[in-house]
Amino acid sequence: MPDNIVAGGVSVDTRHWIGGRRVASSETFTDVSPIDGGTIGEISRGTALEAAAAVAAAKAAFPAWAATSRAERARILHAIADGVEKRIEELSIVETTDNGALLRSHRRGVIPRVAHNFRFFADWLLKLEHEDFETRGHTNHVSWDPAGPSVLITPWNAPLMLATWKVAPALAAGNTVVLKPAEWSPLTASLLADIAAEAGLPAGVLNVIQGYGSEIGDALTSHPDVRRISFTGSVPTAKRIAESAAGNLTPLSLELGGKSPLLVFADADLDLAVDLAVEQYDNAGQVCLAATRFLVEESVAEEFTRRFVEKAARLTQGDPRDETTDIGPNIHPRQLEKIDAFVQRALAAGARAVIGGHRKDTQYYAPTLLTDVAQDSEIVQEEVFGPVLTLQTFSTEEEAVRLANDTRFGLAATLATGDAERAERVTEQLVAGTVWVNCFFVRDLQAPFGGSRHSGVGREGGTWSFDFYCDVKNTVTAPNGGKNHG
């Protein structure tokens, strides 16, 4: 098998990156193009052996990296950000080739944010502090000690963005990392290893291991030398990881799925509400935060639906490399089958497709809006992770809140209302890690990010990330250093 493949004109190493060296497995798996279903290339298919080697490399590199000054760690993180910025074009085309999300979004938003992830946590590290405080004359001093080797497991819907959201704070905190990207989008993690090495990150501080989660996941998550596990992905995988980590009580951060509502009140600016609604087709609906359940006040539901259908009809679907495309392909034929199965079951149960309701071809699913759906139906309760939205109506604020909260998830909620007091009242009652009022997807790394209920455990962002990746310590010193004793 060749060690490199060419994706979107860019050469990418298909092997693992362990202890500062490229390591191949004897077997491979096929990376499939979401754009045309063809083969992008063969990737090293990791085994428990390579997983153990990656953890060993992270363990060996930990003492020196943990002892590296904050200023030096921050300098290297900024150098990684510089490397990302120099390669925005290459990273964008490789990511689009691999996961099918829009090239223009990668170029203008997503990949620049990858660089920002490193800069943000480098800067945050340098100002991380907690004011000392006194207890009966004793001084309390809070500090953050690096926790140790961290396993970071990521999904395919925003591969490099979500990976670096974990890699950057873990490295900033002084931890070493084993990154396991999703098997449907393995390529940009390999490029990140190159960029980090060029930036001067010492060997073994960042390791990348490729392969199927079902084959190497347990070897990583049950390893006694792993001190933190951060996972973004689906609920069933999270449960599996939690079981595997339980033997060592390894602390977990879990960012999981959602079934978030968009609540549209009659007092809302309806054009704004429709704009927010149509945005939910972004990334072909493969967005954890997507507001996939429209809850619309009865009196404006007909007009809202009319304007939504009109606007959705103007969206163009096609090749994600084309500047004019709004909706690209779904990641994999298996994902399309899953999406279609959800929709066909909903239609069979009595739902009506206002638009869509079918596949377009082998790579694309028609943007879909379903009505006449029962609150307890599968299509309202379960995450589809495709361009499939539902619409229900409500007649009172209480009913809106009840419907919004009535799933097992609690990742996000979006509100469209012209009444600030209502916004405050409703927000207080919503079960969600993030609430957007008259806006969507505005995110700042200082803010806590995460989900309630089955949408996750823990929060990422700013201090919350450092609290997770560190052993937070409180040192209590006697008055006058203890010199007055006796």
- Whether residue 330 contacts residue 36, with contact meaning beta carbons closer than 8 Å, is answered with no
- Least separation in angstroms between residue 152's CB and ligand NAD is 10
- Is 90 known to be catalytic? no
- Least separation in angstroms between residue 184's CB and ligand NAD is 7
Out of 70, 240, 311, 402, which residue is the one contacting ligand NAD (CB under 6 A)?
A: 240
Residue with smaller CB distance to ligand NAD, 312 or 384:
384
Contacts to ligand NAD from residues 380-439, by CB under 6 A: 383, 385, 411
- Least separation in angstroms between residue 450's CB and ligand NAD is 7
User: How far is it, in rounded angstroms, from Cα 226 to Cα 276?
Assistant: 41
- Whether residue 256 contacts residue 451, with contact meaning beta carbons closer than 8 Å, is answered with yes
44 forms beta bridges with 28
- Least separation in angstroms between residue 288's CB and ligand NAD is 3
Residue with smaller CB distance to ligand NAD, 328 or 456:
456
Task: Check binding of 164 to ligand NAD (CB under 6 A).
Answer: no
Q: Specify the 3-state DSSP secondary structure of 14.
A: coil
For the beta sheet containing 133-135, the strands, ordered from the edge strand earlier in sequence to the opposite edge, are: 133-135, 138-146, 470-477
Task: Check binding of 154 to ligand NAD (CB under 6 A).
Answer: yes
Quote the crossing angle between the two packed helices 111-127 and 88-99, to the nearest 10°: 120
Task: Check binding of 338 to ligand NAD (CB under 6 A).
Answer: no
Part of the chain binding ligand NAD (CB under 6 A), chosen from 46-54, 231-239, 354-362, 416-424? 231-239
- Least separation in angstroms between residue 292's CB and ligand NAD is 10
- Give me the helices (H) in 128-186, please: 159-172
User: How far is it, in rounded angstroms, from Cα 417 to Cα 272?
Assistant: 10
- Among all chains, which residue has been given the structure tokens 């379903």? 370
Task: Check binding of 292 to ligand NAD (CB under 6 A).
Answer: no
- Whether residue 216 contacts residue 224, with contact meaning beta carbons closer than 8 Å, is answered with no
- Whether residue 158 contacts residue 111, with contact meaning beta carbons closer than 8 Å, is answered with no
- Of 50, 95, 183, 255, which one is the catalytic site residue? 255
Tokens of 257: 């799925």
Q: What track of x and - describes contact with ligand NAD for positions 182 through 211 (by CB under 6 A)?
A: xx----------------------------
Task: Check binding of 237 to ligand NAD (CB under 6 A).
Answer: yes
Residue with smaller CB distance to ligand NAD, 176 or 237:
237
Task: Check binding of 452 to ligand NAD (CB under 6 A).
Answer: no
Out of 25, 105, 157, 417, which residue is the one contacting ligand NAD (CB under 6 A)?
A: 157
User: How far is it, in rounded angstroms, from Cα 33 to Cα 349?
Assistant: 33
* Widest pairwise Cα distance in the chain: 84
Part of the chain binding ligand NAD (CB under 6 A), chosen from 38-46, 194-202, 227-235, 357-365? 227-235
- Least separation in angstroms between residue 339's CB and ligand NAD is 12
Task: Check binding of 480 to ligand NAD (CB under 6 A).
Answer: no
Contacts 24+ apart (CB under 8 A), 161-164: 161/110, 161/111, 161/113, 161/114, 161/117, 162/232, 162/255, 163/188, 163/189, 163/192, 164/114, 164/117, 164/118, 164/192
Task: Check binding of 451 to ligand NAD (CB under 6 A).
Answer: yes
Part of the chain binding ligand NAD (CB under 6 A), chosen from 87-95, 106-114, 126-134, 180-188? 180-188
Task: Check binding of 256 to ligand NAD (CB under 6 A).
Answer: yes
- Is 288 known to be catalytic? yes
- Of 288, 297, 383, 470, which one is the catalytic site residue? 288
Q: Say what the alpha-carbon torsion angle 249, 255, 256, 259 is, to the nearest 10 degrees.
A: 140
Which residues, including other chains, have CB under 8 Å from residue 321's CB and lie 6 or more apart? 35, 93, 96, 103
Task: Check binding of 155 to ligand NAD (CB under 6 A).
Answer: yes
Radius of gyration of the chain (CA): 24
Active-site positions read 255, 288
Residues of this chain that interact with ligand NAD (CB under 6 A) are 153-157, 162, 180, 182-183, 213-214, 217, 221, 232-234, 237, 240-241, 255-258, 288, 383, 385, 411, 451, 456
